[in-house]
């Protein structure tokens, strides 16, 4: 009986150690795992850590769901679908961490690119139109969020 108790305690200790170790947020800007959190958790716990406004956070949720697959979790254009786009169509998702990418575009172009797709702004048709999927507010939110990606990178670089 005693042995079983000791064993159980050991297992519990290992589990706790692993859980707290694994759930520690890294110092990188990568926010992997946010997709498994509820909207409420993200809004209530993240603003301080990520330095995002509520609009930007709402945009981050849209980004994680719809854009990350191509543009990458950090917006570097290296989502897991980027490889296919490059291989099959010779095109790559925009890299938002390069601070010149979005800076070169007007607010209107960014909104149009998102809602009407790449083709509407003279870019690749493999940037899909999201106007039918996202509400106007969601398009505006995600536009606000992608602009923070370059800023965040600058922040981590200068803090090195």
Establish if 129 lies at the interface with ligand HEC (CB under 6 A).
no
Establish if 144 lies at the interface with ligand HEC (CB under 6 A).
no
Of 30-38, 50-58, 61-69, 152-160, which part binds ligand HEC (CB under 6 A)? 61-69
Choice between 42 and 121, CB closer to ligand HEC = 121
- Total residues at interface with ligand HEC (CB under 6 A): 26
Choice between 42 and 130, CB closer to ligand HEC = 130
DSSP the chain: -HHHHHHHHHHHHHHHHHHHHHTS--SSS--TTGGGS-HHHHHHHSHHHHT--HHHHHHHHHIIIIIHHHH-TTSSS--TTHHHHHHHHS-----TTSHHHHHTS-HHHHHHHHHH-GGGGTS-TTS---TTTS-HHHHHHHHHHHHHHHHHHHHHHHT-
Of 19-27, 30-38, 48-56, 105-113, which part binds ligand HEC (CB under 6 A)? 105-113
Establish if 55 lies at the interface with ligand HEC (CB under 6 A).
no
Positive or negative, the CA dihedral 27, 31, 34, 40 is positive
The contact set with ligand HEC (CB under 6 A) reads 66-67, 69-71, 81, 85, 91-94, 105, 109-110, 113-114, 118, 121, 123-124, 126-128, 130, 142, 146
């Amino acid at each position: 009986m005693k042995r079983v108790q000791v064993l159980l305690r050991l297992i519990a200790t290992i589990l706790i150690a692993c859980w707290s170790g694994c759930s520690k947020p890294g110092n990188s800007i990568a926010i992997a795992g946010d997709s498994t959190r509820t909207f409420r958790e993200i809004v209530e716990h993240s603003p301080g850590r990520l330095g995002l406004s509520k609009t930007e956070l709402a945009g981050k949720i849209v980004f994680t769901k719809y854009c990350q697959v191509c543009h990458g979790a950090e917006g570097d254009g290296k989502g897991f679908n980027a490889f296919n786009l490059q291989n099959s169509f010779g095109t790559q998702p925009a890299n938002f961490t390069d601070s010149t990418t979005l800076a070169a575009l007007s607010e209107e172009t960014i909104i149009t690119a998102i809602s009407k797709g790449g083709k509407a702004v003279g870019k690749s048709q493999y940037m899909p139109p999201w106007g039918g999927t996202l509400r106007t507010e969601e398009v505006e939110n995600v536009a606000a969020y992608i602009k923070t990606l370059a800023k965040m990178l600058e922040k981590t670089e200068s803090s090195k």
